[in-house]
Structure 1
Amino acid sequence: PDIPLFEGILSDLFPGVVLPAPDYDHMTAAVKRQCVKFNYQPTPVFVEKLFQLYEMILVRHGLMLVGLSYGAKTATWKTLQHALGDLNSNGLLGENKTRVVVINPKSIYMGQLYGQFEAQTHEWQDGILAKKFRECAVDTTPDRKWVMFDGPV
């Protein structure tokens, strides 16, 4: 429902401008290979959502996949992760491998996740998130780094 509304706004702001369709031939092939590997069905809706995720990652530093349980959120990002690695292995589209750190935020206490002040020692103790972000920041490889909170919101 949001896409037609957005396209309408674009056509009002830029009348007569037609956006070229993106060329996802190599990406589509990589996605389908990964779907076969993971025994997923590459339905048009699944592939469309995967491309929407990819396009959002290109323009945003952080985003959320929200939906019902068993709605293919994890399958979508995992398939995209491996498809990007597939493209990298084949030297296509200038893509990089993707390293993923997965954290279930509901499996630990808030202080363990974000960090906390230790009352006895009067020192700050970094949480898992800060430690993982730091690891990603000092990693000089060209690989993409994704820190995922995968669990209930």
Structure 2
Amino acid sequence: LRAIKSVLVVAGSLKREERSRPEEQVLMRALRDFNLPKIVTSDVPIFLGLISDLFPQLDVPRKRDPTLENAVRQSVSELRLQPEENFILKVLHPFSSTYSNMKMKPVWNDINPKAVTTDELFGYLHPATREWKDGLFSSLMRELTSVTHDGPKWIVLDGDIDPMWIESLNTVMDDNKVLTLASNERISLSSSMRLLFEISHLRAATPATVSRAGILYVNPQDLGWSSCTPSWTWFCLKKPSSICKKHIQTPVYQLRPDTH
């Protein structure tokens, strides 16, 4: 039900932008563009087949913002990465460097939630004195709500998802967007604030967490190895003592196994 609501919100925003477009085209584009970022490469043909069954002989181009895409390409190049089309599509949201180039520099802080206990992250009441001890996340969220800033404000949680701490964020990730602490204090997530989770997998995530988050899955198959080569070359040449520097221009088939 939560996913259905998200799709309808996306469809509603698309309809308001293009009121003359037929509703079946709006819904088709909302379903396709909302779900594709979450799907692994092997499942993409299956998903597109389902979409074509629902909307036969209907192909609506995705909404594009040339100014935004050019800003992303500029940021990617400055980071010595390769502006592959699939990569650009995946990194349109979020992008700190792009926001900076567009004069919308975000205010952000990163936390490793696995480096502290749940009490240290969200705060706790001392069992004997009943004194409140503030947590790292709760104090940071309270501070960001009071910061006067026109651009976006992010809290980046860089660590594997664990039900022990992620379940405490369910109310923040719901529609009410409120963090309720054990002290009964309620801290609201403002419209300019976002939670960003940088993780390597979702093995420990519950359906409740996955349904609340917007997932961006980067498929290794979409990029391949060719886009990594120029960036890897630059990195190796930057280090004079690198053992791979003398082999950097050597064709792969000429490299000995012990020099890979």
Give the structure 2 partner of residue 85 of structure 1. Answer: 100
Secondary structure of the 1:142 match is: coil
Of structures 1 and 2, the larger Rg is shown by 2
Residue 49 (structure 1) aligned with residue 90 (structure 2):
yes
Give the structure 1 partner of residue 148 of structure 2. Answer: 140
Measure how far apart 1:6 and its partner are. Answer: 7.5
Separation (CA, whole Å) in 2 of partners of 1:133 and 1:5: 40
Q: What TM-score comes out, normalization by structure 2 length?
A: 0.40
Give the structure 2 partner of residue 100 of structure 1. Answer: 108
Separation (CA, whole Å) in 2 of partners of 1:139 and 1:3: 41
Unaligned runs of at least 5 residues, structure 2: 1-41, 162-260
Measure how far apart 1:121 and its partner are. Answer: 3.2
Q: What TM-score comes out, normalization by structure 1 length?
A: 0.63
Separation (CA, whole Å) in 2 of partners of 1:111 and 1:10: 45
Percent identity between the two aligned chains? 29
Separation (CA, whole Å) in 1 of partners of 2:111 and 2:147: 19
Measure how far apart 1:44 and its partner are. Answer: 2.1
Give the structure 2 partner of residue 112 of structure 1. Answer: 120
Separation (CA, whole Å) in 1 of partners of 2:148 and 2:53: 43
Pick from 78, 99, 107: which aligns with 1:37? 78
CA contact (8 A) 1:82 1:98 kept: no
Structure 1 stretches (4+) deviating beyond 4 angstroms? 1-20
* Alignment length (residue pairs): 120
Separation (CA, whole Å) in 2 of partners of 1:102 and 1:13: 42
In angstroms, what is the RMSD of aligned CA positions?
A: 2.5
Give the structure 2 partner of residue 123 of structure 1. Answer: 131
Structure 1 letter corresponding to 2:149: T
Unaligned runs of at least 5 residues, structure 1: 55-76, 90-95
Give the structure 2 partner of residue 151 of structure 1. Answer: 159
Measure how far apart 1:36 and its partner are. Answer: 1.6
